[in-house]
Amino acid sequence: MAVRPESRVLLHRLSKRPDGDEWIVGRRETRVFVALPHIGVEALGLLERGMSVASAQAELCARTGEEADLVDFVQGLLTVDFVAEVDGRKISSAPTTPESFPRLRAHHVRFLLRPSLPLLPTVLVAAALAVLRARPELIPTHRDLVWSSYGTLVVAVGLMVGWSIVFLHEVAHLAVARAADVPGRISFGTRLQFLVMQTDISGIELAPRRHRLTAYLAGIGVNLAVASTAVLLLALVPPNTTAHRLLAAVVLWAALPLTFQFMVFMRTDVYFVLQDLTACRDLYGDGRAYAGHLARRLLRRESVGDDPSRSLPASERRAVRIYSFVMVAGTVLCLAGFAAFTIPAEIRLVGRACVQLSSARSPVDVSDAALTLAAVAGVHAIWFVTWRRQRRSRRATVKERNSP
């Protein structure tokens, strides 16, 4: 769509918030946002008043004394789907991603943004720690994960309860974001070798910092609340019973995933907190680009002048460079741990199930071994399908951005 100086544009509803010397501007429904200088926000205001591009440019020059090419500015707005109409002609926009739980409205969950709400998991954690200190025999160990002699039962219940906790974790992110009028979508994703459930609440970038941090940390709060509640119930249930062993397993199923959230070399909850506190726009993307630059420099394919972090502000550049080393070291260690521990453990589990299947003496043994194999294979199949879909989606996005 050609934009002329006499053109008038109708913008979509845009949200804005100040961010240092710039403004974050975007559409909540598409979860697309950009950083603009103050003069850019003034230009948006003039265009939103219905002024032509030329008139807005002249008014902007009179206000600021700066010459700005608003024709080029509007063309840039078109590329990010901020423009609804040009000279009365509707602009086709990329379809918005459907929300999860669309009937959940902001007023249903507005209480989640109350500053006092974090006190609830804090009190539960404090009570659980007090119980464990008074009765250290209640502290769960890895043996509690194998709470039954039937592998099928252990795997099936573990998957059911574990993924239920993961789902609650993601719903917490979604609910807090929805309370801030930010749409969100829950889906499966991958992080290195991990199959994860993820929630796209990228529009939270337009919310105040307290709301952003609350949304990022809401899932961790759910895990802590579940683990702490299970510890408190452990103190009330007789030991050496199925209920006691299951509760001990629940503590681990809720607490162990928190170690994953602190793997900031991937896009985890704590990573987003770190990115926000360091005031970086794309800590992972910029860190990855800088790490790639260093690798190419070692291979003598790039020079110092090709450093992609040089265009960043000094404080952001420093954070990105430090993070790039954390990202590389963490990725290497994570993959090494997967090769050294996870793969051998799975091979042993599958091998034992195969032996049990070939020498089974009862239908129970056959079903136990078969279901164990099916559960392991199913998880890997879902990971592969999810990884492949993400890769296709990224390629389609890059192709669309590079299209004329």
Count CB-CB contacts under 10 A for residue 337.
12
Prediction pTM value:
0.85
Burial 10-24 (b: 16+ CB within 10 A, else e): bebebbeeebeeebb
Give the best-scoring range by mean pLDDT among 233-237, 309-313, 346-350: 233-237
- 82 closest CA partner among 148, 143, 10: 10
- Between 17-31, 227-241, 266-280, 326-340, the lowest mean confidence (pLDDT) is in 17-31
- For residues 65-91, average pLDDT: 91
Contact assessment for residue 291 and residue 278, using Cβ atoms and an 8 Å cutoff: no
pLDDT digits (tens, 9 = 90+) for 369-398: 888 888 888 888 999 999 888 888 766 554
Q: Is 353 helix (H, G, I), strand (E, B) or coil?
A: helix
Residue 323, Cβ density class (10 Å: 0-12 exposed, 13-18 middle, ≥19 buried): buried
Average predicted confidence (pLDDT) for the chain: 89
Give the separation between CA 98 and CA 114, rounded to whole angstroms. Answer: 27
For the chain, how are helix, strand and coil distributed in percent, rounded to 5? 65, 10, 25
Q: Is 185 helix (H, G, I), strand (E, B) or coil?
A: strand
- Between 63-67, 149-153, 361-365, the lowest mean confidence (pLDDT) is in 149-153
- 273 closest CA partner among 321, 337, 209, 332: 209
Kindly tell me if the per-residue pLDDT of 293 is higher than 70.
yes
pLDDT digits (tens, 9 = 90+) for 199-211: 999 889 889 999 9
Give the separation between CA 284 and CA 273, rounded to whole angstroms. Answer: 12
- For residues 32-57, average pLDDT: 92
